[in-house]
């Protein structure tokens, strides 16, 4: 297209320069706006026509609608029967009668000459309840439950059993043996960090010291001893290091923590 005609030409003419305009694409783009306007106008007319047809089909209502409920309400007083109040029943307080009881305590086995009280016969217990004192009263039934009478300085009527201290004997082997906190690797690191290898051991020589101690139910170390001694200075060193150990995880037997014996072999080698 010549330069002087570019300003006077349409965009489509520039785009379709040297192209086949009769193919159809040029014609569709050329008259696109006109066809779109016609389509919108026809759609608007169709919508208006449908709206008019719908309004003509709706029947017109003549007259007014009267409400089914009247505006006025008349209140009528009704005489309701009065409810009878329930009669109050007098409260009867029955005094509990004293029930017969027989003293029937547990006794310790003592020599015959030390016996002062004897157990009552079974026939005496048929109509009395078992108690810690003997007193007269009405015959007791099967449903009677009488608390122990006040006796002694504290007035509780119950004699406390003497406290016994449980003595735990250390086991040689337990279901779960004691364990150093952190496991075997932490134990080896602790011993290697605190034990000093001697410099006066001959080449190829080794000295073994076997220590034995108790790990109680709380993880404490006690009763440190030597099952196999090596050398006096090395023996003292092993005992000192074991005494510095922290609390262990205690052994367990039947699910309960117990005191267990534990052995530790310590080997000293030459420094070369």
Q: What is the pLDDT of residues 75-125, one digit of tens each?
A: 666 666 776 666 666 665 566 666 676 665 555 566 666 666 566 666 666
Handedness of CA 238, 241, 247, 248 (dihedral sign): negative
Spatial distance between the Cα atoms of 262 and 172, rounded to a whole number of angstroms: 8
Q: What is the pLDDT of residue 143?
A: 47
- The helix (run of H) or strand (run of E) holding residue 187 is helix 184-194
Q: What is the pLDDT of residue 75?
A: 66
* pLDDT confidence of residue 271: 65
3-state secondary structure of 237: helix
According to CATH, where is 3.30.1150 located in the chain?
Answer: 184-269
The whole-number pLDDT of residue 255 equals 92
DSSP state of 134: -
Task: Compute the half-sphere exposure of residue 79: CA atoms within 13 Å on the CB side of its CA.
Answer: 0
DSSP 12: H
Rg, Å, the chain Cα set: 56
Q: What residues of the chain score a pLDDT lower than 70?
A: 1-10, 12, 14, 16-18, 23, 58-80, 83-99, 101-127, 129-132, 138-167, 271-272
Helix count and strand count (H, E) for the chain: 6, 7
Q: How far apart are CA 58 and CA 51, in angstroms?
A: 11
CATH architecture of 184-269: 2-Layer Sandwich (3.30)
| Phi/psi of residue 147, nearest 5 degrees | -70, 160
* Residue 43, pLDDT score: 95
- Residue 150 CA to residue 132 CA, distance in Å, equals 9
Whether residue 267 contacts residue 239, with contact meaning beta carbons closer than 8 Å, is answered with no
Give the pTM.
0.40
Helix (H) / strand (E) element for 26: namely helix 25-30
Cα(first)–Cα(last) distance of the chain, in Å? Answer: 103
Cα separation of 77 and 74, whole Å?
Answer: 10
């Amino acid at each position: 297209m010549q330069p002087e005609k570019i300003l006077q030409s349409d965009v489509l003419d520039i785009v379709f320069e040297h192209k086949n305009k009769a193919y159809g694409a040029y014609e569709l783009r050329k008259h696109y706006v006109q066809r779109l306007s016609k389509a919108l106008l026809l759609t608007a007319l169709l919508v208006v026509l449908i709206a008019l047809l719908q309004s003509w089909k709706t029947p017109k209502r003549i007259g007014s609608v009267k409400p089914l409920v009247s505006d006025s309400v008349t209140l009528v007083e009704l005489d309701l029967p009065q409810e009878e109040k329930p009669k109050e029943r007098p409260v009867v307080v029955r005094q509990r009668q004293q029930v017969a009881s027989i003293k029937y305590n547990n006794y310790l086995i003592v020599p015959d000459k030390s016996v002062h009280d004897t157990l009552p016969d079974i026939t005496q217990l048929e109509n009395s309840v078992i108690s810690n004192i003997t007193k007269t009263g009405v015959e007791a039934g099967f449903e009677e439950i009488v608390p122990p009478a006040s006796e002694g300085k504290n007035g509780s009527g119950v004699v406390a059993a003497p406290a016994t201290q449980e003595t735990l004997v250390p086991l040689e082997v337990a279901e779960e043996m004691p364990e150093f906190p952190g496991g075997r690797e932490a134990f080896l690191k602790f011993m290697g960090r605190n034990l000093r290898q001697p410099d006066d051991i001959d080449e190829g020589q080794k000295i073994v010291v076997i220590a034995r101690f108790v790990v109680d139910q709380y993880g404490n170390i006690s009763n440190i001893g030597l099952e196999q001694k090596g050398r006096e200075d090395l023996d003292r060193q092993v005992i000192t290091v074991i005494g510095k150990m922290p609390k262990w995880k205690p052994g367990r037997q039947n699910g309960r923590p117990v005191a267990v014996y534990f052995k530790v072999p310590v080997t000293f080698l030459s420094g070369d």
